[in-house]
Structure 1
Amino acid sequence: MPSTTLQWLSLVGIIWLQAIIGTNTNFPTYSSQLKQLLSISQVQLNNLAFASDAGKLFGWFSGLASIYLPLWLVLLIGSTLGLVGYGVQYLYITNQISSLSYWHVFLLTFLAGNSICWINTVCYVVTIRNFFSDREVAVGMTTSYQGLSAKIYANIVDAVSPHKKASAFIFLNSLLPVIVGLIAAPLVREIDEEVTSPKHTRVGFGVMFVITISTGIYAVLSSLQFVTSKVSSLGTLVGILVTLLLPLLVPLSVKIKELQENTEKVRIYHFTMEENTTSEERVENEVKEGEVQEEVGIIEEVGVKLMLRRINFWLYFFVYFFGATVGLVYLNNLGQIAESRGCSNISSLVSLSSSFGFFGRLMPSLMYYFYRGKCRISRPASMLAAMVPMSVNHNVVVANIPIGSLIFGYSAALIYRKEGHEHDEHVKCMGMECYRNTFIMWGSFCFLGTLLALILHARTRKFFSQKQ
């Protein structure tokens, strides 16, 4: 099979992996039931959410492993860790294991959280190596699918096991990444060389963006109550699965086009067309190499020690800390937030939040795709993603997630207990007061993150202007 087709197939495999590795994002859908089953307080429940995020503290292990081990083995290790972490919890919740303490569950959740890093590392490495000249677009588009994870899992549970959601979610968390990993493993691999011309790559990503945006629109609409009341859970599930198969149209069309071109060469202009094609490919490769060299010229290749001494790194770190991390903590608490306001259909709320989160992840890469030829946009995220060794440095950056999860989540749990007068730690807090002060605090942190982002933008804009 031609390398061009394999390139796009690898991107499709990464999309499938990203769509199911966000196992921690569906935590709100079963957190209230888990709290009852384990008879734990809100603070202890928050500790479990922190444990999942804390698994990222050791995500740099996966970065080192990707340097010395085959990527398929790194993918297998990540899937296995998730299988063990969530699988044992499932056996406990279904009473197939009787003796499992709270701290056992904590460690298993930690292990499951770490498994995401292994699969994520494989996705990042393959995407950047196979689409180096378009890595910002490719990474941004594929990671946006991770925002759909909660939506996909919720649709499966609603269709298959609507009455035992807690155990069904944990069962899927353990098994689905393994199944998809085995399917995607032959596709997700490094191609020897990037053979797609810039023109064809841009067209391919254009089609991919149309499919991706259509997927997001369907995800949002199918999460709204007036739609779910008219369409069955099975119908909604079939629809989301079809949208995940649509990216296959790109490598399929590339393959058909290559077959048609080869047939035409043999039948009509065999010798002449072969010579012209060789010349065109030579010109395209020269153009591509020039673009790659120009792109590389504005990237700093730094190690971990040097990176930690950079002001821009710490600005980016705290932008992420006061922005995306606060959002993740909000999602972890969404189950209790909805419960405190008397919302019974938490699954639909999480699906809707997941769908809009998908667009939030997609927008930066979409903007970069349309405006990169007109003006040079400061891209701190792409700089950090391209640092060498990328797979290690990226996991250093995301270490702020467990730190923020502990600080923001624990403070929210304490306010929850205080406002709910939770003398008996297992009593639920109901009413607006449960999270009112928490939202004020989170909003203030997000405002601070916005100010830091503006400062970082100004600093990196000078850097890009000088290089240009």
Structure 2
Amino acid sequence: MSPNVLRWFSLVALLWLQSINGTNLSFPAYSSQLKEFLSISQFKLNYLSFASDAGKVLGFISGIAAVHLPLPLVLLAGGSLGFAGYGLQYLSIVKKMFTLSFYQIWGLSFLAGNSICWINTACYIVAIKSFPVNRQVAVGITASYQGLSGKIYTDIVHAFFYSSQREAASGYLLLNSLVPLVGCVVTAPMLMREAKATSYSSRDVKMGFIFLFAVTIATGIYAVATSLLPAPAVLVLVGIVLFLLAPLAIPFGVRLEEVMTCRRSQQKVYDFEAPFEEDEKEEEEEFDDEKAIIGVKEEVEWTKLWKKLDFWTYFGLYLFGPTVGLVFMNNLGQIAESRGCAATSSLVALSSSFGFFGRLLPSLLDYFLSRNKYMPSCPVSMAVSLVAMVASFLLLLIDSDVVLYISTAMIGVFSGALTSLSVTMTAELFGTKHFGVNHNIVVGSIPIGSFAFGLFAAKGYRDGAAFDGRFDGKCYGMYCFQTTLIFWAMLSSVAAVLAAVLYLRNRKFYSQKP
């Protein structure tokens, strides 16, 4: 298999991996049942959601491992950690094969959260190495597919585990343990060889990404439509699988073109050499021209990040921005329950589907508008997304199920966009040589925010339950999360200001980009 075909196969494998890697996105769908299984308070439930995010604190280890170990091994390590983390919880909580203390379950949730970092690191590095010129687009598309995870797991549960709420919760734990591991085992062989093409046609790459964008957009539309409209779960799942298989047309098409080119060259063997050399020279010039477009400010080793003011500004931006969106998703089950909305799984599927579009949007705009002087920089795009998130949180103060659906979709879109933009901005500000470690350090802000902001939400929820005079720890009413939503809106406003500061500090760098 030629390197050019292999890198497209690798990209398709990354799409599959990311589509099942967001195991934490399904947590809101079964958090209320988990709370009942374990007979725990809202505070302890918040600690469990924090544990999954806390696993990202050690995410930088996967970046270091990726430098010294083969990427397939890094991938399998991630799948194994998730299998152990969720699998042991399933055997203990559902099958009652042994008893685990709350702190042991917390540790397993930590392990499961850390597994996501290993798979993400392997995927990002393969995407960057396979498409160095179009790395922003390749990484953005692969990251967008992680937004589908909540939707995919919800559809599988609805199809095979939905006889009761209890069985549905057990289904999520079982799927979270098995599916990523199986995906890693299946796709690891595709990453064993170097997938970077030595030379390529710029036209072929452009057509490949255009087709991939078309498939991705169609996948997103299908995901949103089936989240809003009633349809048999099995048929919905079959449709998702077909859309995930569709990108395989690209490597097969590239291989077919190579075979046809080889045959034409054999027929014109005497006329082949000179034109080939000329075409190769043109391709190298195209490669150099495109490489100049996607520059980096500087290459920074992870040990020197703490000396950079840009890093601390960016760290704060991530802490008060994307992290707040994640905390909202973690509490979505309780927010819906407190407002009297029973369609938690539908909200999770909706936020997942719109999150998919949000993660895709920056890559789509970058690919088609990167040569346009009106294309906003990453900090500006992040500031706009954060302002929209502020509006979404404030909109949730209105007591309406329709508003709940609209705000959930908006937060899904803009949280997804922030996640995708952050991957690009890490590479722009601190380079690609140490990207695996650097980005995992930035993502390390998630557990800090998850704990602090989630704890604030749990306190407001508990105070609301006490106000109602309830002794079961449950809160019903708009006031359960009213103060929390205002607090989250304020944090997102701070993040928007930090994004503006980051742009002002680096406006010279961004102004030089075409």
TM interval, shorter chain, is over 0.9
Deviation digits for residues 354-400 of structure 1 (CA, Å, limit 9, x no counterpart): 11111111111111111112237534643423343111111110011
Once the two structures are superposed, the pairs formed by residues 104-253 of structure 1 within 5 Å of their partners are: 104-163=104-163, 164-189=167-192, 190-224=194-228, 227-228=229-230, 231-253=231-253
The whole-number CA distance in structure 1 between the counterparts of 2:12 and 2:120 is: 14
Q: What residue is the counterpart of 2:330 in the other structure? A: 332
The SS at the match of 1:301 is: coil
The whole-number CA distance in structure 1 between the counterparts of 2:14 and 2:202 is: 21
2:426 pairs with 1:384: yes
Matched-pair contact (CA < 8 Å) for 1:74–1:119: yes
2:456 to 411, 417, 442: 411
Q: What residue is the counterpart of 2:417 in the other structure? A: none
Deviation digits for residues 182-227 of structure 1 (CA, Å, limit 9, x no counterpart): 1111223532544333332222111111111111111000000xx2
Structure 1: gaps spanning 5 or more residues: none
Matched-pair contact (CA < 8 Å) for 1:298–1:464: no
Matched-pair contact (CA < 8 Å) for 1:130–1:194: no
Larger mean CA deviation between 456-465 and 243-252 belongs to 456-465
The whole-number CA distance in structure 1 between the counterparts of 2:281 and 2:274 is: 11
The SS at the match of 2:506 is: helix
Q: What residue is the counterpart of 2:364 in the other structure? A: 366
Matched-pair contact (CA < 8 Å) for 2:29–2:333: yes
2:349 pairs with 1:345: no
Q: Structure 2 vs 1, CA of residues 466 and 252 (structure 1 numbering), >3 Å: closer, same or farther?
A: closer
Q: What residue is the counterpart of 2:315 in the other structure? A: 317
Look up the equivalent residue of 1:167 and give its one-letter code. S
Once the two structures are superposed, the pairs formed by residues 67-106 of structure 1 within 5 Å of their partners are: 67-106=67-106
Larger mean CA deviation between 236-245 and 409-418 belongs to 236-245
Look up the equivalent residue of 2:183 and give its one-letter code. V
Length-normalised TM-score, structure 2: 0.86
Once the two structures are superposed, the pairs formed by residues 12-91 of structure 1 within 5 Å of their partners are: 12-91=12-91
Shift of residue 132, structure 1, vs aligned partner: 0.7
The SS at the match of 2:147 is: helix
Q: Structure 2 vs 1, CA of residues 194 and 295 (structure 1 numbering), >3 Å: closer, same or farther?
A: farther
Shift of residue 304, structure 1, vs aligned partner: 2.1
Shift of residue 115, structure 1, vs aligned partner: 0.5
The whole-number CA distance in structure 2 between the counterparts of 1:141 and 1:148 is: 12
Percentage identity across paired residues of the two chains: 48
RMSD: 1.8
Shift of residue 454, structure 1, vs aligned partner: 2.0
The whole-number CA distance in structure 1 between the counterparts of 2:294 and 2:334 is: 46
Alignment: residue pair count: 462
The whole-number CA distance in structure 2 between the counterparts of 1:424 and 1:431 is: 12
Q: Structure 2 vs 1, CA of residues 300 and 271 (structure 1 numbering), >3 Å: closer, same or farther?
A: same
Matched-pair contact (CA < 8 Å) for 1:66–1:391: yes
Look up the equivalent residue of 2:156 and give its one-letter code. I
Q: Structure 2 vs 1, CA of residues 259 and 28 (structure 1 numbering), >3 Å: closer, same or farther?
A: same
Structure 2: gaps spanning 5 or more residues: 380-421
Matched-pair contact (CA < 8 Å) for 1:415–1:437: yes
The whole-number CA distance in structure 1 between the counterparts of 2:296 and 2:56 is: 29
Matched-pair contact (CA < 8 Å) for 1:341–1:431: yes
2:482 to 429, 436, 455: 436
Q: What residue is the counterpart of 1:282 in the other structure? A: 281
Shift of residue 277, structure 1, vs aligned partner: 2.4
Matched-pair contact (CA < 8 Å) for 1:300–1:383: no
